[in-house]
Structure 1
Amino acid sequence: MTAWTEDDLTRVGNAEELQVSSYRADGTLRPYVTIWVVRAGDDLYIRSAYGATNGWYRRALASGAGRIRAGGVERDVVFADTEPGASAGIDRAYHGKYDRYGPAIVGSVTGPDVAALTIRLLPRD
């Protein structure tokens, strides 16, 4: 695995939305789903706003890899666990970027109830 470039982190992190797709068992990509993305430090994160049963989220966990598009960046990724202790910074990033949409919407991707639904995006070779 390679690291994100600063340019990729900035472009994806500043993008309003991200499109994410996971790989099927046959190696083809599923249709893209549009979701929010945040940058916290040198990492990019996505969360399931509708719980662990959300289709894109379940498929991402099952496949472990996929592809993202955001901010002019298109990249194969690994769907990884978050680092211990990262949740507070990820919540701050979501609030800082998306609070203008209101507390009910941002509340769907922040707080202790959704911390376990966080996926760290790692670039894949």
Structure 2
Amino acid sequence: MSNWSTAELNAIDSVDEVVIATRRRDGSLRSDRIVWLVRHDDAVYVRSVNGTTAAWYRGVQTAHQGRLGAGSVDRDIVFVEVGDHVGQPTALDDALDAAYRSKYGKWSGPVASITSDVARETTLRVDPA
């Protein structure tokens, strides 16, 4: 499981937009992308609103490493696959959907997209490196 400090979790949870950059095989960082992260218990999760075809998500698949900037938090991270979500919603999916609705509910259209089956298939846990 993740090793975020309480202060880091609170900082991440307090901002709407988070910046991530994925690492290439050679260790260099790709361009920053703005994403929505949610906290569930003591872990942080991200999804691709555009599914598996999004450039940043494809970049994750190269090395499962990157960099996160969220408020006062600026850390190297690892992306952890959390299982096969294709057509098989889990309790975690439901909890993350609720977290996205709670945190980002003022934007109903994007929330519907980030809680869709297409986005659920891309769920990743984000841990500090």
1:4-35: CA deviation from partner (whole Å, max 9, x where unpaired)? 10110110122111101111122111111011
Structure 1 unaligned blocks of 5 or more: none
Percent identity of equivalent pairs: 33
Give the C-alpha shift of residue 2 in structure 1. Answer: 6.4
In the alignment, the residues of structure 1 paired with residue 38 and residue 68 of structure 2 have an alpha-carbon distance, to the nearest angstrom, of 13
Equivalent position to 1:86, from 85, 88, 92: 92
Alignment of 1:32-47 (within 5 A): 32-47=32-47
Normalised to the residue count of structure 2, the TM-score between the two structures is: 0.88
Query: TM-score when scaled to structure 1?
Result: 0.90
Instruction: For structure 2, list consecutive stretches of 5 or more residues without a partner in the other structure.
Output: 84-89
**What residue number does 2:86 align with?**
none
Q: Secondary structure at the match of 1:20?
A: strand
Distance 2:29 2:57 in 1: 14
> 1:77-105: per-residue Cα shift (whole Å, max 9, x none)?
11002276311111110000111112x21
Aligned structure 1 segments of 4 or more residues deviating by more than 3 angstroms:
none
Question: CA-atom RMSD, angstroms?
Answer: 1.7
The correspondence of residues 98-117 of structure 1 with structure 2, limited to 5 A, is 98-102=104-108, 104-117=109-122
Q: Could you tell me whether the CA contact under 8 Å between 2:51 and 2:121 is conserved in 1? A: no
